[in-house]
Structure 1
Amino acid sequence: MSVNLLRQYKNLHNRQNYIIEKAEFYFNSGEYDNSIKLTEKIQATSPLFKTATLIKAKALWKSGNLSLALEQLNYLLVKEPTLIESYLLISKIYYQQKNYKNSKSVLLLAKEKILYCEVLCPELESLLIASELELNRTLELNNIDKKFRNFNQLTIFKELPIDCIYTVFNYLNFQDLCNSNLVCKQWTQDLSNLPQIWSSLNLNFEKKTRLIANNTVQTHIQSFFKRSGHRLKDLRISNLLISEATIFPMYFKGKVLQLSCLSLIGCELDSRLLDKIVMTLGGTLKELDLSNLVGQSTPNLGLILKTCQSLKSLNLSNIPTFNDLLISDTLQTLHQSNNLPKLLNLKLRANSLTRGKFQQFINYFPQLTELDISYSKNLNIENLKNISKKLINLERIGVSGLYSMQDINLERYLLHLLSTLKNLVYLEFQNYPNLQDSLITLSVGFTNILVSLDFSHCRQITNSSLDAIGLGCPNLKTLKLANCPQITDIGVKSVIRYCPELQHLNLSFNPKLTDQFFEYLTQLPTGLEHLEVESCSELSTRGLIPYCKHRNSLKLRVLKLGTIGMLDVECYNWLKLRFSRVKFSVNY
C-alpha cells in the first residue's frame, strides 16, 4: 500500500472518530436528530459502524421511534451476536411496549451471552438496570398488577451471580431492600451472604415526618438489626422520634453492636435514653454526631468523653443546652489517667458552652485537626487567640458569624490565625458584613495551600478580593461567595483563570452576575463538579444552555439554579434530560 493511500486511510479514520464523538455529544445533550444524522455518515464497511449503529438506535429509542430502534438493534445483532448492550436496549424497548414476554426472553438470552463471554461487573450492572430496577420504587403490592409481579419473578434474577446481586442491593434504598423478596425470594438468602450490605444503615426522614415514628419504621429498623447481626458498623438516623422500642434490637442475641459511627442528627429522645445509647455503644465509637437534637435531648459531655475512649470525631452543633456540670472534673481525671479520647474533629457550631468550658476543650485536645465554632454566642477574642496558640495542627476551621466579636480586633485576629496555622487548608469565615477587601488581600498572602474558602454573606467584598484569592490560592478547589452582591463576572474570571483545580463554586444571591459568567466557566481546564447560582437575577437560559452543552459541564454532579429567568417547561425538561445523573434543582 502506498504512502498516499495510508495517509488517506488515516485521515478517513480520524474523520470517522470525530463523527462518532460528535454524535455521542449530541446524544448526551438530548439532540437526538443531529446524532442520528451524523451516525448515518458512517458506512457499513467501517470498523466504527457497530458503534454508530448503537448510538443511532439509542437516539431513536430516546426520541420515541421504538420500531425503528428495534430494527436497527436486530440488524446489529445479526452482525454482532455477542453485543450485550444491544440485548439490554431491546429488553428495555420491549418492556416499554409492555411486551413482558419478549422482554423476559431477551434478558435471559443476554444473561447466557454474558456468562458465555465471561463478562464481569459493568455489563452485569447494565443487565440489572435494563431490568428496570427503578420499578422497585413501587414495590408495594397494591400498586403491582399481575403482569408486573410475574415479570419481577423472572428466573434471571434468581440465577444472577453474587457480585451482580450486590450491585442490585446497592441500587435499592432501605425500604426496597427490606422488601427485596418481593422481586426474588432467593434474594433473602443472598442478603445473608453479603456482609458489606449490612455494614451501614442510613435512615434520613424529612423534618415534617419526624414525629411519625410508627410501627412500620420500627419494624424496618428491627428487621435490619436482626438480619445484620453484628456486621453493622455505621448507623445514621435523622429527624426521627427515637423510643426504647427503636433501639431494642441493639441488644440482639444478648450482645451489643460494635458500631464505629453513630449519627442521630435532628432526632428527639429523652436524656436518659441518650445516656443509655452512649453507655451501650460508646466503647467502639470513632464518630459520634448528635447535632440538632430537639426536645429534651441533653447530651452528657462527661459521660460521652468517659465512655467513648476511641472517639475521633464529635459533633455537638446546634444543641441549646449541655449537661456539663461535671465536665471539668471528668476532663482532669481522664487527662491524669491518660484516658482522654484522641479527638481529631470537634464541631461545636452554635453551641451554648461557656468561655471557660470551651477553653478546657482547647487545652485538653491540642491534637485537633478540625474545629468548627461558628455562630457560638459566648466566645471572646481571648478564646480565639488561644486557638492559634494551642491548636497548631489545625487543618480546617470554621469561625463564621461570631457576633460577640463583630468589629472587635477582627482584622488582627484573622491575620494572626492564617499566619500561625501553617497547615490550614479549609477556612469558613461567613457572615461578617464589615469585612473589607484589604483584609482578604492581606490574609490570603500568608498561605498558598488553601483548598477551600467560604466568605459567604460578607457583603462588602468586591472583585479585588477575588483577584487576591485567585493569585494567592492556586490550589483552590472550593469557593463559596453566596450573597456577596458587589462581585461581578470580571472577578469570577480571575478566580477561574488562576485556580485551574476549582471544582465547587457557590455564587448564589449575587445580582450582578450575567450570562458572561457561564462563558467563563467553559474556560476551566477541569470543569466544575458542583455549581450553585440560585437567585442570580441577571442569569438566563441564553448563557446556561450553551454552557450545559459544553464539555466542561460533563463532570457536574450537583447543579442548583434556583430561579433562572425565562426557564420554560421545555427548557426545564431538557435540563432534566441532560443532567439525568446530576442532583439537579430548580425552584419556581
Structure 2
Amino acid sequence: MTRVLRSATKKIQDNEIINNKLNISKKSKTIKRGSKKVVVEGKDESIKHNDIWDITSILSSIFSYTEFKDLVNANSVCKKWNHITNPTIHRTFKLQRSRAIQNKVHDKRFHKAAKTDAEVAECIANNSKFAPLVKEFKLDENLNPQRSTELFETFRFITIFTIERVGMSQDQFLAIMKSLNQIKELNLKSLSIKKIFKKRFYTKSVQLPPTLTKLTLENVYLSRNPEQFIQTINSHTNLIEFSHITYNQTGFLDPFYKNYPSLKSFKYSSQTLDNPQSLYDVVQFNPQLIALNLQLKCTDSTLISHINSYLVNLEDFNLYDSVVYNQTRSDITAKFSHPTKIKKLKVTWDKLSQCSVNSILSNCPHLEDLSLIQSRSYLSTDSIISLNIVNYSKILKLAVSVDSLNKSSFDFILLNCVNLRELHIQLPTAWKEWIDIVGTRCMGLDQLALSPTPRMNNPERESFFQELYETEFKTNTFTFMNTITKIILRSFNFNISKAEYFTNFTKLRSIKFPLQYVRNLRMSKNQILLDKDLWPNFRLRDHKVLQRHYDIELIKSTF
C-alpha cells in the first residue's frame, strides 16, 4: 500500500512539474541586466517569429534551380510547397499542347488556324486562374485578332514580353499593348506589321506604360507605313536599355534626338545606313550613357569625336566597323583625343586605320575587359599591324583575333596585362610563336580560349590539332598549365580529343568544345555519349543542340 501511495505521489509531482514548465514556456521571461531589460519570448513564440526557422526563402531558392518536372511533383506535396512553387511553375505558359494530344482531341478536318485558335481558347480556360503569376511570355505564332485580344486581356500581368517571327496588323499589336500596362521588357524580333484601311478599331496610338525600361527591336518590317505602330513604340518615357537592329529603319531613334535622362544603354546596328549623322544628336544629347554599342558600315571621324567629347560617363563601348562587300574600301582615321572612363572595350574593325585603333586604346586607361577583332573582306590589306597597350594592369579579360598582328605587339600586350585572368585568342598561321608567348607572359590565367585562324584549310587544321595536343599540351610545362581551371577550344574537333592531352593542366575543372558539327540532324542531346576510356574522370554536362551544331562541356570529377 505504501509503495502504491509513493508511486501515485511521484506521478502527481511529475505532472505538476510538467505543467509548471509548460506554463513557464508560454510566458515571456524578463532578464534584468543593470537598468536594461531584455525580453526573451517563449520557445514557441521565438520559433514562430525567428527568420532562421522560416525556411520559405530557402525553399524558394532551392526550387528555382529545380527541373520543371520535379517542380510539378513538389507542387503537390503540401499546401505550403504548392504556394511556394506556383510562381515558378506559372511564370510562363505554352499556348498549345503537344502534337500527340492535339491529334487525339481535335477533328482531323481542322486546318492549322482552327487548331491554333481552339488550343489558345483551351489555354485561356485552363490558366486564367493563374494569370497574376504569369510574368513572362513569348508569342511566336500567328493568332486570330479577337483571340489575341482575349489572351492578353486575361494575362495582363506579363512583365517580359517577346514577339518573334510573327506577322500581324497594326491594330492587333495596339490591342495587345493596351492590355499589357505592367510590362517592363518588350522584345520585337522579326516582326512584320501591316497597316489596314478597312474595319479598323484603332485610330490613335497607344501609350506605352511608364514601367517599360527595356526595349529591343530586331528586324521589324513595316508595310504600308503604320504610323500608329511607330508612334506607339516611340511613346516610351523611362527606358534604361534600348537596342535596335535594323536593315533600313531609323524612325525609332526619334525619342533620343533630345536628352532622354533615364537611358543608360544604347545599341544600334544597321548595314544600310550610309551616313551616321542621325547618330550625332543621339550621342550629343545623352551624356549620361554608360554603355554604347554601334555596328555600322559608315563609321566616320565626326562620330568617334562626338563619342569621345560628349559621352563622359561611358564605361562600356562596342564599336563594330562592319564589312560590306560591294562598297569601295578606304581607310578611316578617327581618333580619341582625351582619356575616357571606359572599362569594357570591344573594337571590331576593317577600315579603321592602325593609328585610330591605337588612339582609342591609349585613351582608355581604366580598361578591365578588352576585345580586339580584325574583320576582313576581300578588299582588306595584308599589312602587318602593330598595337600598343601600355601599363594596363587592370585588364582581367583579353580577347585578340587579329591575324596580321605582329608577334612583338602580341608579346608587348601580354607583358603589360600583368593581372590577366581570362585570355581568348584566335591563333594565326604561325601559332607556335603565340603559344610560346602566352606560356612566357601569362602567370595567373584562370581561363584560356583558343581557336585556329579561318585561313587554315581542313588538312592544315587537322595537323594543327594534333601538333598542339601532342607537342604543346602533352609535353610542355607552361606556367599557365598550373593555374587554368577552364579551357575553351573553338572550332576544334571533339572526336579526336582525349583526356590524356590535358594531364599537365593540374587545376583543370572544365573543357568546352563549342559549335561541334551535327552529322545526323535527328540526333538529340541524349544520343551524345562520352567514351569513358578516352575521358576517365570526366562527365558530360548538359549541352545545347542548335540546328547543325552543338556545344560540349566536360567537367572533371573532384574525387
Find the residue that maps to 2:297 and give its secondary structure: coil
- Structure 2 Cα separation of the partners of residues 123 and 395 of structure 1: 32
Secondary structure at the aligned position of 1:439 is classed as coil
Counterpart of 1:533 in structure 2 is 490
Instruction: Choose which of 225, 248, 251 in structure 2 pairs with 1:320.
Output: 248
Question: Are 1:286 and 2:213 matched, yes or no?
Answer: yes
Q: Does 1:573 align with 2:529?
A: yes
Q: Specify which of 157, 162, 180 is matched with residue 236 of structure 1.
A: 162
Q: Please say if 1:121 is aligned against 2:59.
A: yes
Displacement of 1:163: 1.8
Cα distance in 1, alignment partners of residues 375 and 65 from structure 2: 53
1:506 to 1:474, Cα distance in 2 relative to 1, 3 A: farther
SS at match of 2:485: coil
Measured at CA, do residues 373 and 495 of structure 1 come closer, stay the same or move farther in structure 2, by a change above 3 Å? farther
- The amino acid across from 2:529 in the alignment is N
Q: Using the alignment, how far apart are the partners of 1:298 and 1:571 within structure 2?
A: 49
Post-superposition offset of 1:453: 4.6
Q: Distance in 2 between matches of 1:372 and 1:292?
A: 17
In structure 2, the CA distance between the partners of 1:369 and 1:570, relative to structure 1 (3 Å rule), is closer
The one-letter code matched in structure 2 to 1:233 is T
2:320 aligns with one of 394, 400, 407: 400
Distance 1:495 1:304 in 2: 57
Correspondence for 1:560 among 508, 514, 520 = 514
Question: Which among 532, 542, 552 is matched to residue 497 of structure 2?
Answer: 542
Structure 1 residue aligned with 2:554 = none
Q: Residues of 2 paired with 1:522 and 1:542: CA distance? A: 20
Distance 2:226 2:329 in 1: 27
**Which residue in the other structure is 1:355 paired with?**
276
Structure number with the higher strand fraction is 2
Asked if 2 retains the 8 angstrom alpha-carbon contact of 1:371 and 1:394, the reply is yes
Opposite residue 562 of structure 1, the aligned amino acid is: Q
Larger Rg: 2
5+ residue gaps, structure 2, are: 1-54, 99-117, 334-352, 533-537, 551-559
Aligned counterparts of 1:248 and 1:160: Cα–Cα separation in 2: 37
User: Is the contact between residue 398 and residue 429 of structure 1 (CA under 8 Å) also seen in structure 2?
Assistant: no
- Is residue 383 of structure 1 aligned with residue 303 of structure 2? yes
- CA-atom RMSD in angstroms: 5.5
Structure with more helix by fraction: 1
Q: TM-score, normalised by structure 2?
A: 0.57
| TM-score (normalizing by structure 1) | 0.55
TM-superposition CA deviations, 1:548-580 (whole Å, max 9, x none): 998966557x74142499xx9999421799334
Aligned residues: 418
Match of 1:430 among 370, 373, 380: 373
User: CA-to-partner distance for each residue in 1:160-210, whole Å, 9 max, x for gaps?
Assistant: 432234454569767579999999x99875x35xx5x5222245x5xxxxx
Aligned mates of 2:393, 2:268 — CA distance in 1: 27
Equivalent residue for 1:307?
235
Give, in angstroms, the shift of residue 233 of structure 1: 2.0
Asked if structure 1 preserves the Cα contact closer than 8 Å seen for 2:266 and 2:291, the reply is: yes
Aligned counterpart in structure 1 of residue 481 of structure 2, from 506, 517, 523: 523
CA contact (8 A) 2:427 2:450 kept: no
Percent identity between the two aligned chains: 15
Aligned to 1:471: 415
2:414/2:438 contact within 8 Å kept: no
Query: Take 1:218 and 1:362, find their aligned partners in 2: how far apart are those partners?
Result: 42
Deviation at 1:309, TM superposition (A): 2.4
Measured after TM superposition, the shift of residue 130 of structure 1 is: 9.9
Shift of 1:314: 1.6
Gaps of 5+ in 1: 1-116, 137-151, 206-211
2:177 is aligned to 250
Counterparts of 2:61 and 2:233, CA distance in 1 = 49
Aligned residues of 1:312 and 1:345 also touching (Cα < 8 A):
yes
**Does the 8 Å CA contact 1:288/1:315 hold for their aligned counterparts?**
yes
SS in 2 for 1:288: strand
Give the equivalent residue in structure 2 for 1:369.
290
What amino acid sits opposite 1:250 in the alignment?
Answer: M
Q: Tell me if 1:198 matches 2:144.
A: no
The CA deviation string for residues 99-129 of structure 1, in whole angstroms up to 9 with x for no partner, is: xxxxxxxxxxxxxxxxxx9996399759975
Cα distance, 1:429 vs. partner? 4.4
Note the C-alpha offset of 1:380. Answer: 1.8
Query: Structure 1 residues 542, 331: CA separation in 2 closer, same or farther (over 3 Å shift)?
Result: closer
Q: What code does the residue aligned with 2:163 have? A: I
